[in-house]
């Protein structure tokens, strides 16, 4: 077991310790699954209500970094309307309740589904590009192809929620920003699937997110290229929402649910969004989802020269914005849906080996299914090896346990993630192999 993780009784927790894992599934507790720092005695008491012991990351303990402000969530200290959090107004609303939610189960492997929808992914990109070019040229806009493709996207995400995520992650070509809305629409569908939304609602959501930014074609290039935080305060930039609505209202066959997504996707829970500045009581559910996934995608792949956050850092930032920019329960369920390490993420294991996340375990989101692709010296393996971290840890002793140390940037150590997905991986794995890397 990596020396960075130390099993610790809750009674022995001290301020500054970083809790990396619990003795029970995270979804059974109110704590942030990306981990958190102990900042006060109240944090220890809150943990004691759910756990007898936890696992401390000794490397992160007492180190001020991006996670240093992420204290444990204490249900007795939930924010109330009008209270300031990090200098921003907060708003607490009742949790979203989905009436008669659908229950979806993966029907095929990620490899089979990715091979099936690779052409679909390109078609969606082409459809968005064609619409933007029509707007730029002053031509009549048709959204029929986009609506048809959205149906196929829904079917794919229902069959396997990870395949389109992987394909979107592997596509680096985004010179005109088309990929932003395509990727955001995929996150939206994965989230909607997790919530149990019906196929028609998922279709409206996908179409709405795909079309939500087309009004940006009407903006000056300098306005489109500005840094995200600067542009959000610029009335000229904010006008893209109305431009989008004006364009789409001329299109035949778009339901009101799609138009409302476009109209409200840039609004924020506490009223700090645009263009109307309305609060969470007024924002429709699908628009709340659209805004959340749009923000997440901006965090990990921002415009301009800004360096994006890692998925883990982005999740931590979203968690800090509960009941500020986004509704608390939706943030937490979004994190449940995508995991701290989304599909396609390169990760370093406690054995120093590198793997690629290929799927998730609903009860232990920090222990996903991966393909191990390098040895402990970061040398590429001839063939990747499949490994389910949850299953491995449940069937082996604590000393043999495996964990993810951290996420890595795309392409780290010269790894071509897409090649391993397409070529597949062996399932051969042995204790001897694991122990030799420790």
Looking at the structure, tell me whether residues 245 and 381 fall in a common domain: no
Task: Tell me what pLDDT residue 424 has.
Answer: 55
Last residue of a domain, one of 272, 306, 338: 338
Looking at the structure, tell me whether residues 307 and 360 fall in a common domain: no
Looking at the structure, tell me whether residues 240 and 355 fall in a common domain: no
Question: CA-CA distance, 4 to 60, in Å (whole number)?
Answer: 8
Looking at the structure, tell me whether residues 137 and 115 fall in a common domain: yes
Does a structural domain hold residue 398? Answer: yes
Does a structural domain hold residue 397? Answer: yes
Does a structural domain hold residue 420? Answer: yes
- pLDDT confidence bin for 177, thresholds 50/70/90: low
Does a structural domain hold residue 88? Answer: no
Looking at the structure, tell me whether residues 151 and 284 fall in a common domain: yes
Task: Tell me what pLDDT residue 146 has.
Answer: 96
- pLDDT confidence bin for 312, thresholds 50/70/90: confident
Distance spanning both ends of the chain, measured CA to CA: 7
Looking at the structure, tell me whether residues 214 and 281 fall in a common domain: yes
CA distances from 122 to 170, 395, 416 (A): 12, 41, 19
Looking at the structure, tell me whether residues 312 and 368 fall in a common domain: no
Looking at the structure, tell me whether residues 328 and 396 fall in a common domain: no
SS3 readout for 239-261: CHHHHHHHHHCCCCCCCHHHHHH
Q: How many domains does the chain have?
A: 3
- Pick the closest to residue 347 from 283, 412, 432 (CA basis): 412
For the record, the structure tokens of 409 come out as 């940037």
Does a structural domain hold residue 87? Answer: no
- Pick the closest to residue 92 from 379, 374, 357, 326 (CA basis): 326
Task: Tell me what pLDDT residue 132 has.
Answer: 94
> For 188-224, what is each residue's pLDDT tens digit?
999 999 999 999 999 999 999 999 999 999 999 888 8
For the record, the structure tokens of 17 come out as 């310790």
> For 104-119, what is each residue's pLDDT tens digit?
999 998 888 988 998 9
> For 150-173, what is each residue's pLDDT tens digit?
999 999 999 999 999 988 877 655
Does a structural domain hold residue 410? Answer: yes
Question: CA-CA distance, 195 to 188, in Å (whole number)?
Answer: 10
Could you say which DSSP state residue 381 is in? E
Does a structural domain hold residue 103? Answer: no
Looking at the structure, tell me whether residues 200 and 325 fall in a common domain: yes
Looking at the structure, tell me whether residues 334 and 214 fall in a common domain: yes
Last residue of a domain, one of 313, 338, 363: 338
Which residues make Cβ contacts (< 8 Å) with residue 403, sequence separation at least 6?
1, 2, 5, 20, 21, 349, 350, 366, 367, 389
Q: Which domain holds residue 401?
A: 346-436
Looking at the structure, tell me whether residues 222 and 306 fall in a common domain: yes
Torsion angle in degrees (nearest 10) through CA of 155, 160, 165, 168: -50
Q: In this model, does residue 44 exceed pLDDT 90?
A: no
Where residue 282 sits, what CATH number does that domain have? Answer: 1.10.3210.10
Looking at the structure, tell me whether residues 236 and 331 fall in a common domain: yes
Does a structural domain hold residue 56? Answer: yes
Higher pLDDT, 296 or 223: 296
Higher pLDDT, 340 or 424: 340
């Amino acid at each position: 077991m990596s020396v960075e993780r130390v099993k610790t009784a809750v009674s022995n927790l001290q301020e500054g310790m970083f809790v990396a894992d619990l003795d029970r599934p995270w979804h059974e507790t109110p704590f942030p699954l990306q981990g958190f720092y102990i900042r006060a005695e109240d944090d220890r008491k809150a943990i004691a209500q759910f756990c007898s012991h936890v696992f401390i990351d000794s490397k992160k303990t007492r180190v001020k970094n991006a996670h240093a402000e992420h204290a444990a969530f204490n249900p007795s200290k939930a924010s109330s309307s009008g209270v300031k959090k990090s200098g921003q107004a907060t708003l607490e609303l009742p949790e979203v309740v989905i009436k008669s939610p659908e229950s979806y189960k993966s029907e095929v492997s990620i490899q089979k589904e990715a091979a099936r929808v690779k052409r679909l992914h390109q078609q969606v990109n082409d459809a968005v590009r064609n619409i933007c070019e029509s707007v730029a040229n002053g031509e009549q806009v048709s959204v029929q192809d986009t609506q048809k493709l959205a149906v196929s996207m829904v079917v794919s995400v229902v069959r396997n929620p990870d395949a389109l995520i992987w394909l979107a992650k592997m596509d680096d070509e985004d010179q005109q920003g088309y990929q932003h809305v395509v990727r955001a629409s995929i996150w939206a569908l994965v989230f909607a699937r997790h919530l149990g939304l019906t196929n028609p609602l998922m279709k409206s959501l996908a179409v709405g997110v795909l079309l939500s930014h087309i009004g940006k074609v009407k903006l000056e290039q300098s306005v489109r290229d500005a840094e995200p935080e600067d542009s959000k305060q610029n009335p000229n930039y904010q006008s893209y929402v109305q431009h989008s609505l004006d364009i789409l209202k001329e299109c035949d066959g778009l339901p009101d649910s799609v138009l409302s997504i476009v109209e409200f996707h840039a609004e924020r829970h506490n009223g700090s969004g645009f263009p109307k500045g309305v609060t969470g009581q007024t924002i429709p559910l699908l628009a709340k989802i659209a805004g959340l996934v749009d923000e997440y995608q901006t965090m990990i792949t921002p415009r301009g020269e800004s360096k994006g956050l890692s998925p883990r850092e982005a999740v931590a930032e979203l968690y800090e914005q509960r009941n500020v920019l986004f509704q608390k329960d939706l943030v937490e369920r979004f994190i449940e849906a995508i995991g701290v390490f989304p599909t396609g993420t390169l990760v370093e294991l406690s054995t120093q080996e590198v793997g690629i996340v290929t799927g998730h375990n609903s009860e232990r989101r920090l222990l996903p299914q991966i393909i191990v692709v390098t040895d402990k010296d970061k040398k590429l393996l001839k063939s990747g090896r499949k490994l389910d971290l949850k299953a491995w840890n449940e069937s082996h002793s604590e000393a043999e346990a495996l964990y993810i140390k951290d996420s890595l940037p795309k392409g780290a150590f010269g790894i071509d993630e897409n090649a391993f997905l397409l070529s597949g991986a062996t399932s051969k794995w042995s204790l001897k192999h694991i122990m030799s890397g420790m």
